[in-house]
Amino acid sequence: MSSLKNRAMAILEEMGLENWVKNLQVMGNDIVLDIVSHSPAMHERKRLEQALKITFSEQLPEGNLKLNILVESQEKPAEIKGNDIPGVKNIIAISSGKGGVGKSTVSSNIAISLQKMGFSVGLLDADIYGPSMPTMFDVEGHQPHSVQVNGKSMMKPVESYGIKLLSIGFFAGTDQAIVWRGPMAAKALNQMIRDAHWGELDFLVVDLPPGTGDIHLSIVQQIPITGAVIVSTPQNIALADARKGVSMFQMEAINVPVLGIVENMAYFTPAELPNNKYYIFGQNGAKDLAEKIGVPFLGEIPLVQSIREAADVGRPAALQDNTEVASTYMKITQNIVQSLVERNNTLPPTEAVRITTMAGCSAAKK
């Protein structure tokens, strides 16, 4: 295979498109590429065409790309990859409809609280574009080591405060922006899931990015999530997006049990007025939403300066023994475990989802 062809294939693999290539030929400087579109929709084919032309012009400027985008007459289901993670008993996804509600802070403190309860815990930072766990656990600059498992080289998660951690932040510089397209982000996420040696875990906590997009679909495709926790603040604009987050997991095609809703930044109590509560973002919004849509309300977390400070210095607030903050996170975590026990006693194991279109508009159970 020529050097130009090797480099072209490497670009396609980096974009996560290698399985869609029908033909790749190099004649002189001409690169003839026949590739199948993920979707028959015209706008999706245009997106694919634009992405390929831009990437090849940037990374292989000496090549002349001659592109032919094909649409198969009958859509072929994607490969099912959603097997269990060896050794992992329960997978909890922490999600939010919008950014800025403290989802990652809640994820880190739930993981710590589970560990303090005596469970073995891992934490997967699935927020590809905004990873924060290396900072929150004071392991910036660390990288997973390689270990041999049954003759295969695998990543050993970084450990901090007894939590096994993996994050794309371990592989990118602190100031480096991650500007991958959807297939590339999904491929990186799959590598962190499948190429990691998690060992025996009672819980794997997955900190999802905000919203309901590609990464969420990739996660439910790759692993059977035991249950999801939704984090929201009390104001209406956040609650509207939280409702969408619940709806996504409850879709018939996805069908991941929602363990409950956590209300973050519920109120503020000044140190000089310990008996006062100021509901800056509204009162009982997430609690009322949980009751309205019939999912458990897991508890409320006040707006406390020490929680933010603890995250910034890399020592989650739940580690502050004998404090009201640690007690609050512990109660919420106990409620999550109780909700999960009820879910495991009444529902069959969650199956991974097979996503069959680029946009995830149709899906089927494994």
pLDDT digits (tens, 9 = 90+) for 308-334: 999 999 999 999 999 999 999 999 999
Rounded Cα–Cα distance for residues 133 and 104 (Å): 8
Q: Which of 132, 147, 143 lies closest to 171 in space, CA to CA?
A: 143
Measured CA distances, 215 to 98, 248, 307 (Å): 14, 13, 27
Rounded Cα–Cα distance for residues 366 and 364 (Å): 7
Ranges assigned E (strand) in the chain: 21-27, 30-36, 64-70, 88-95, 121-125, 145-149, 152-156, 158-160, 163-167, 201-207, 227-232, 258-263, 297-300, 353-355, 363-365
Rounded Cα–Cα distance for residues 337 and 185 (Å): 30
| Domain boundary assignment for the chain | 3-70, 88-365
Portion of the chain with pLDDT greater than 70, in percent = 85
**Among the listed ranges 88-92, 170-174, 242-246, which one has the minimum average pLDDT value?**
170-174
| Cβ proximity of 126 and 219 under 8 Å | yes
Q: Give the pLDDT mean for 137-142.
A: 92
Model confidence band, residue 45 (pLDDT cutoffs 50, 70, 90): confident
Q: Give the pLDDT mean for 75-79.
A: 41
| Cβ proximity of 133 and 123 under 8 Å | yes
Torsion of CA 289, 291, 292, 296, to 10 degrees: 80
| CATH code reported for the domain at 88-365 | 3.40.50.300
**Among the listed ranges 66-70, 196-200, 308-312, which one has the minimum average pLDDT value?**
66-70
- pLDDT confidence of residue 181: 64
- pLDDT confidence of residue 248: 84
Do the domains spanning 3-70 and 88-365 agree at the CATH topology level?
A: no
Starting at the earlier edge strand, list the strands of the sheet with 88-95: 158-160, 163-167, 121-125, 201-207, 88-95, 227-232, 258-263, 297-300
Q: Give the pLDDT mean for 6-25.
A: 87
**Among the listed ranges 84-88, 131-135, 346-350, which one has the minimum average pLDDT value?**
346-350
**Among the listed ranges 142-151, 218-227, 297-306, which one has the minimum average pLDDT value?**
218-227
Q: Which CATH number fits domain 3-70: 3.30.70.1770, 3.30.1490.20, 3.20.20.20, 3.40.50.10860?
A: 3.30.70.1770
Q: Which of 35, 15, 14 lies closest to 24 in space, CA to CA?
A: 35
- pLDDT confidence of residue 41: 67
**Among the listed ranges 145-149, 245-249, 349-353, which one has the minimum average pLDDT value?**
349-353
Annotated binding site for ATP: 97-104
Q: Which of 273, 366, 362, 301 lies closest to 105 in space, CA to CA?
A: 301
Annotated binding site: 97-104
Helix 182-194, helix 214-222: angle, nearest 10: 30
Tokens for 139, please give them.
């392991």
Neighbours of 270 (CB within 10 A): 9
Q: Give the pLDDT mean for 350-362.
A: 40
pTM of the model as a whole: 0.71
Q: Give the pLDDT mean for 205-234.
A: 84
